[in-house]
Chains A and B, each alone.
Chain A
């Protein structure tokens, strides 16, 4: 089913209606963060320091872009493997993070955190960074600029295409989809 949602999330019922396998177009604001930014935010949290972005009702896109050419918003901008962020994600979900966009499997702890906080894990198509960059209309670094491609960016996206992999109930598309096409032998 095709769905259209806005981020930040204003009414969580919209997320709760999403089902694993739905095709979703996101419009609004996304924050990028990957390994190094996650580690730094996690350490800040542990030290009782404020985080550079507000997790509440927001979504994180696991992505580090290639450099933008002159006059362009961003370079290639596809998802990175989400499981590397599994160590940090449950803590951010507990702060109100409503969505994560990446690719690949998640740990049990992350799935539990998704269900507990009624959040969603989306996949963007891995290796389609040129195509996905076309749906990003603005980009600016908001924290950890020294991390280069791993800095935290605030992105403005329009109809950014993703697929629900793990929904608020914990249904997991990666587990169900492959079974339908499995062959013996």
Chain B
């Protein structure tokens, strides 16, 4: 059994928090570049050019891409042949977030209680999703999530009779309502199937997929392409100021579900769709 010290997890998380907030991953750069080339609106193009300049400034001057450096969502895949030693894994993850957000000059946006709302001042706790996988590696993904777009995300408990058309309507409803609030051009993560919480998890997980990747399931791949086209036909455009690029990507994950249900979750992300991964 391979032994990994939890202190290595702390270090990795801290670095990933910083990395994600200062530079977009290559998949996001690819879809962004494509959007700039195909945007038809002059104001839309101007906004996309500003966003590109913003990315450049963030990287060279070491200023976070967006002031909302997010609540840290952390996905941890733990190989079942790994022994995590040297303390609590959960504590190590929170310590990594604390270190990254403090040393990286990132905004502390987390409040201790949803009603009494006192800032924790170090951006902890993170939201952590664990999974146990075969092998002897630990894979950590940090996806800082801004709330301008998180607030526009939705869950729809559809009926089986609603079918694929119902799914399309649900996604379009969420995107239309989000409009300029979610800092378009957006990335849309969709979870279909499972249970109430499973579809939400899938939608979040879909946002961490490479934005320029497509589902391996033929009908899902077609659905991704169709929804992207429909969303871009809404006219919302970059910054919500009109244009043909309202979304950069639609990524969908599915899961088996119950005979009586068709849960659909739509997790909306802004153009600053941050995700950084490391394998330990």
Contact = CB atoms under 8 A, between A and B. Distances in A.
User: How many B residues touch the partner, as a band?
Assistant: 35 or more
B107 A149 contact: yes
B194 interface: no
Interface stretch (B59-67, B72-80, B84-92): B59-67
B interface SS class: loop
B106 A66 contact: yes
B45 to A, nearest CB: 12
Interface residues of A, number: 47
Interface stretch (A11-19, A44-52, A75-83): A75-83
A127 B107 contact: no
Contacts of B65: 76, 127, 129-130
Contacts, number: 166
A98 interface: no
Contacts of B40: 181
B53 interface: yes
Contacts of A185: 230, 233
A170 interface: no
Contact of A130 (B57, B148, B181, B243): B57
Interface in B265-280: 270-272
Given A76-B65, A129-B65, A123 B235 contact: no
Interface in A32-75: 36, 63-69, 75
Across the A-B interface, the 6 shortest Cβ-Cβ residue pairs: A177-B242, A104-B181, A181-B235, A183-B233, A126-B183, A182-B235
Interface of B: 40-41, 43-44, 47, 50-51, 53-55, 57-58, 61-69, 105-109, 117, 119, 121, 148, 151, 179-183, 230, 232-237, 239-244, 270-272
12 contacts: A66-B105, A75-B64, A80-B148, A81-B151, A127-B270, A130-B57, A130-B66, A174-B241, A178-B242, A179-B235, A181-B235, A183-B232
